[in-house]
């Protein structure tokens, strides 16, 4: 069984501002790792991380959220060895790095200008991959390029403990319930 998880990381906004923008609220539940459909933690790097479990964030949601929040976005689907990391601002994707093993073990799509640390990560992982049998590799090192870039930028990898986080650092979240009138209810004063 592999992990399927999407996340966004935001810096410079309070937890309350982020949750309001995302339409989420705390349930009171806590967990050591992001295992619920939605959970969040303040990382030692200062980023507020919201993990969406198996739910993939769509481009339209990222456009909506990034209208008011500069954010990093990541998605991993280990079942098919797909990974991506991207930065969004003002409803636009600034840059992205994508690996899709279904398009080939060395597949890597880069859009825009990723941060400077990208080149060293890419070069190291490609060298490791070329050390494998490319026809039948035991490990997909290219998958780790977007994953490691995201970790270098904000301090979270889906497959590792986050140093500096206490037990039960992840707060379980749920969507804010909206009535038939959406967020505005004409009958509530």
Query: Under 8 Å CB-to-CB from 74, ≥6 apart: which residues?
Result: 6, 7, 8, 9, 83, 84, 85, 86, 146, 147, 150, 158
The mean predicted confidence, pLDDT, of the chain is 91
Tens of pLDDT, residue by residue over 122-178, are 999 999 999 988 888 899 999 999 999 999 999 999 999 898 999 999 999 999 976
Is residue 34 within 8 Å of 53, Cβ to Cβ? yes
Sheet holding 39-42, edge to edge: 24-31, 170-175, 39-42, 48-51, 4-10, 71-77, 82-89, 92-100, 109-112
CA angle, residues 79, 85, 91, in degrees to nearest 5? 125
Tens of pLDDT, residue by residue over 46-102, are 999 999 977 668 999 999 999 999 999 999 999 999 999 999 999 999 999 999 999
Half-sphere exposure of 82 (CA within 13 A, CB side): 11
1 confidence band (pLDDT: 50, 70, 90):
low
Give the pTM.
Answer: 0.89
pLDDT at 188 over 70: no
**152 three-class SS:** helix
């Amino acid at each position: 069984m592999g992990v399927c998880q999407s996340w966004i990381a935001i810096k410079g906004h309070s937890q309350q501002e982020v949750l309001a923008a995302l339409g989420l609220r705390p349930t009171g539940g806590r967990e050591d790792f992001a295992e619920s459909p939605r959970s969040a933690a303040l990382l030692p790097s200062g980023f507020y991380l919201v993990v969406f479990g198996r739910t993939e964030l769509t481009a339209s949601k990222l456009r909506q959220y990034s209208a008011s929040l500069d954010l990093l976005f990541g998605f991993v689907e280990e079942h098919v060895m797909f990974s991506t990391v991207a930065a969004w601002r003002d409803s636009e994707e600034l840059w992205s790095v994508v690996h899709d093993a279904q398009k080939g073990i060395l597949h890597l799509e880069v859009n825009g200008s990723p941060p400077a640390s990208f080149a060293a990560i890419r070069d190291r992982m490609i060298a490791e991959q070329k050390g494998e049998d490319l026809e039948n590799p035991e490990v997909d090192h290219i998958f780790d390029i977007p994953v490691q870039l995201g970790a270098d930028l904000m301090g979270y990898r889906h497959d590792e403990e986050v140093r500096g986080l206490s037990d039960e650092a992840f707060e379980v979240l749920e969507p804010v319930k909206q009535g038939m009138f959406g967020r505005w209810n004409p009958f509530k004063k």
